[in-house]
Structure 1
Amino acid sequence: MDTFDTIGFLGFDVFGTVVDWRTSVARRAEPFLRRHGIDVDPSRFADEWRAEYQPSMERVRSGERAFVRLDILNRENLGRVLLRHGVEPAALPDSELADLNRAWERLDPWPDSVEGLARLKRRFAIGPISNSHIAGMMNLARFGGLPWDVIVGAEIAQTYKPRPETYLRSIEAVGLPPERAAMVAAHNDDLAAASALGLRTVFICRPREHGSEQATDLEPARDWDVVAEDLVDAARQLGC
């Protein structure tokens, strides 16, 4: 694709685009919930935990709170969800809570992800522009075999997407101007924020990220530069 001839770096959203967070978190939460008699469906528990994600980051984005890493926010959010189900986090072993929180670093890639990334890597440098922290992305990459060249994102920028700094400081860190980078994501709002800064855009269809009743991001909201069924299809369209 000629429009990508000058592109040197592909930045990836990870949660939902590259890995299946919902199924993975539910699977790891299930024995914890059963062990402690918490009567909630594991998939619903994963959804409730994820629902705290954006509100907790918004406090940082708005300046209400200084930047803290996503693993810290996730641990706080876990406590809020447990309280909602009548469980006092302080009454549970800290080691178990810490282990459950690491579920976000043990997420299964979608079936096409590793092959698609490996193919894209033949032509482009690749790495996450994620709201996760560097250690979390490193651990997730080792768990799932994700072949990143570099890890950038929120911890580099000290703020969270879709704040412009998250994209711009990440691209600056890999030594390129925005027009020589592209954002790859399954979320239209992520691509809109990147596009406004001059990045090219690749939309990946993930209609089951939120389960069978997903109602968001089922299709591209705009005429993105590339619209692909999955990462293997994106690699094919980009000549990889």
Structure 2
Amino acid sequence: MAEIRDIEVVVFDVLGTLVDEPSGLRAAIRHAVAEPDDASVDELLTVWQQHVELAQRRIAQGHRAYANTEIIDAEAAQQVADRAGLTDPATVARLATAGQRLPPWGDSIDGLARLAERFPVLGLSNAGRTALLRLNAYAGLRWHQALSAETVLAYKPAPEVYRLAIDTAGCPPEHVLMVAAHAWDLRGAQAQGMRTAYVQRPVGDPPTGADAFDWRFGGLHELVAALAAG
């Protein structure tokens, strides 16, 4: 079992772990669509999410050249617009940047600030470089460094994305802690030798019985307390 006192650098997933991605996208869709009801907004959100998932999967499988999240989000926004009958270019363009305006979870800003007093803290996100910059500014996320998967032209859980974080951390992977609300993300990090911590979020991908992550926490305050005690 890993010892928490051995952790030297903490790496955070961003989308879903530190910001509420579905809530932010849902709010942008609601703003764009005339007289929306909850059912139609949820349907359009599903259209968006399915396009993003499919696009990233096709890139991972080599069926599509790499495209960053700004391009994929613009495609998703156009699909939503087509389904909802939106024709105003400015409205569609605004919707395309919805992924750059996502609200932080209630413990994200304070948790990052407290951890940053004791550890180098990195963000590691599938969001493209420009999108990640603007998202960090909007949500008030403060990092020692924020890494975009765009740097290696891949999407998590591709191994090269986690190796980017390990190389940046400058220490052995067993001293680097990956924190995420998505079990699939932690599995990818674990495969590269990183330590793993699952943080529960309402919109995450919870571990299965087969997952053996190093730690599990109900929120960032539990994580901060455990690392401080170590």
Structure 2 residue runs of 5 or longer lacking an equivalent are none
**One-letter amino acid of the structure 2 residue matched with residue 235 of structure 1:** V
Secondary structure at the aligned position of 1:34 is classed as coil
Greater Cα offset, 59-68 or 197-206: 59-68
TM-score (norm 2): 0.89
Q: CA deviation at 1:178?
A: 2.2
Quick one: structure 1 residues 68 and 185, their matched pair in 2 at CA, closer, same or farther if it must change by over 3 Å? same
Q: Residue 203 of structure 2 corresponds to which residue in structure 1?
A: 209
User: Does the CA contact (< 8 Å) of 1:204 and 1:230 recur in 2?
Assistant: yes
User: Does the CA contact (< 8 Å) of 2:5 and 2:227 recur in 1?
Assistant: no
Q: Residue 81 of structure 1 corresponds to which residue in structure 2?
A: 80
Secondary structure at the aligned position of 2:145 is classed as coil
Q: CA deviation at 1:51?
A: 2.3
Q: Could you report, residue by residue, the CA deviation over 1:193-220 in whole angstroms, capped at 9, with x for unpaired residues?
A: 11011000010011x217xxxxx52777
1:14 equivalent to 2:8? Answer: no
Q: CA deviation at 1:66?
A: 1.9
Q: Could you report, residue by residue, the CA deviation over 1:36-94 in whole angstroms, capped at 9, with x for unpaired residues?
A: x89963233223312222210112112222211111011112223333x263x7xx233
User: Does the CA contact (< 8 Å) of 2:47 and 2:79 recur in 1?
Assistant: no
**C-alpha distance in 1 between matches for 2:139 and 2:176:** 24
> How many residues matched?
229
User: Does the CA contact (< 8 Å) of 2:2 and 2:214 recur in 1?
Assistant: no
Q: Residue 5 of structure 1 corresponds to which residue in structure 2?
A: 5
Q: Residue 128 of structure 2 corresponds to which residue in structure 1?
A: 133
List aligned pairs for 1:126-205, cutoff 5 A: 126-205=121-200
TM-score (norm 1): 0.85
Secondary structure at the aligned position of 1:184 is classed as strand
Q: Residue 123 of structure 1 corresponds to which residue in structure 2?
A: 118
Structure 1 residue runs of 5 or longer lacking an equivalent are 211-215
1:227 aligned to which of 216, 221, 224: 216
Task: Tell me the C-alpha RMSD between the 2 structures.
Answer: 2.5
**Identity rate of aligned residues, in percent?**
31
**One-letter amino acid of the structure 2 residue matched with residue 49 of structure 1:** W
Secondary structure at the aligned position of 1:238 is classed as helix
Quick one: structure 1 residues 120 and 220, their matched pair in 2 at CA, closer, same or farther if it must change by over 3 Å? farther
Quick one: structure 1 residues 86 and 21, their matched pair in 2 at CA, closer, same or farther if it must change by over 3 Å? closer
Quick one: structure 1 residues 2 and 39, their matched pair in 2 at CA, closer, same or farther if it must change by over 3 Å? closer
Quick one: structure 1 residues 75 and 196, their matched pair in 2 at CA, closer, same or farther if it must change by over 3 Å? same
Q: Could you report, residue by residue, the CA deviation over 1:125-147 in whole angstroms, capped at 9, with x for unpaired residues?
A: 11221110121111111111111
Q: Residue 25 of structure 1 corresponds to which residue in structure 2?
A: 25
Quick one: structure 1 residues 230 and 58, their matched pair in 2 at CA, closer, same or farther if it must change by over 3 Å? same
User: Does the CA contact (< 8 Å) of 2:74 and 2:97 recur in 1?
Assistant: no
Secondary structure at the aligned position of 2:97 is classed as helix
**C-alpha distance in 2 between matches for 1:68 and 1:51:** 16
Q: Residue 213 of structure 1 corresponds to which residue in structure 2?
A: none
User: Does the CA contact (< 8 Å) of 1:69 and 1:155 recur in 2?
Assistant: yes
